[in-house]
Amino acid sequence: MLIAYADAGGEMARADAVTTFYFSDDGTLNGNAACNSYSAEYRKSDDQLVIGSVVMTEMYCTDESRMEQEIRFITLLGDVRSYRIDGDILMMYGAGGDELLISGRTTRIR
């Protein structure tokens, strides 16, 4: 589940809406992005991680803050270039090494 994400100013913001990740063995990532379900392909090697174009349902959120978090989350997925796992915490970083997404209770990315 998403714990925090980089806001538009680059500061980490606490995730208020439930947002999930599931990295499957076949190279697909899917979950719920607060309002909509999504999926994408991913590639990883060592600490590198690239997430492809995201496909998602198109349901409207009546809660504007959830919708804003979802839009930011989907945008950040496309910016991920590397990752690190520390215990149950998965941290994803952009090309410049900036922290983009933090999620908890993870299993190993295969």
The β-bridge partners of 45 are 48
Contact criterion met (CB below 8 Å) for 69 and 75: no
The reported pTM is: 0.89
- Distance, CA of 94 to CA of 82 (rounded, Å): 7
Where do the structural domains in the chain lie, given as residue ranges?
2-104
Convert the pLDDT of each residue in 66-106 to its tens digit.
999 999 999 999 999 999 999 899 999 999 999 999 999 74
Residues in Cβ contact with 103 at an 8 Å cutoff, skipping those fewer than 6 apart: 1, 2, 3, 21, 89, 90, 92
Token pair of 24, please?
A: 């499957």
Q: CATH: 3.40.50.1220, 3.40.50.180, 2.40.128.270, 3.30.540.10. Which one for 2-104?
A: 2.40.128.270
Could you tell me the two tokens for 66? Answer: 């959830």
